[in-house]
Amino acid sequence: MSLLETDELEALSAHELHDRAVRYAVRHGDLAFLWELLKVIPAAEASAGNEGETVNDLSRVSALLSDAMASGEGELGEALRPFYIDYLSKHPEA
């Protein structure tokens, strides 16, 4: 991905990055990305100041699935921006 395209991704909100990355992954059956997202959510929760959520997320898979669908919102979405940008940079057609 070119610098201009990366700059364009950087300009998107966390919510837009989430929607674009998750929609692409679902549409293309990219379970590796979705699984990786589930794995990084607890760390993002902690960096967003939601330490209580970290413990819950690690113990409940259903919570992780729910978080994945809403992980483009608020502080969590902001904490996951680099993850979405990295993924979208590798899939410019998304």
Residue pLDDT, tens place only, 12-69: 999 999 999 999 999 999 989 998 988 888 888 888 887 777 666 666 666 666 777 7
Token duo for residue 50: 């939601």
Q: Residue 81, SS3?
A: helix
Question: Residue 77 contacts by C-beta under 8 Å, 6 or more apart in sequence?
Answer: 13, 14, 15, 17, 18, 71
- Alpha-carbon span 61 to 65, nearest angstrom: 6
- Alpha-carbon span 1 to 11, nearest angstrom: 15
pTM over 0.85: no
DSSP label of 68: H
Q: E strand or H helix at 17, and its extent?
A: helix 14-27
Tens of pLDDT, residue by residue over 60-75, are 666 666 777 778 888 8
Q: Residue 13, SS3?
A: coil
Whether the pLDDT of residue 4 is over 80: the answer is no
In this prediction, residue 52 carries a pLDDT of: 73
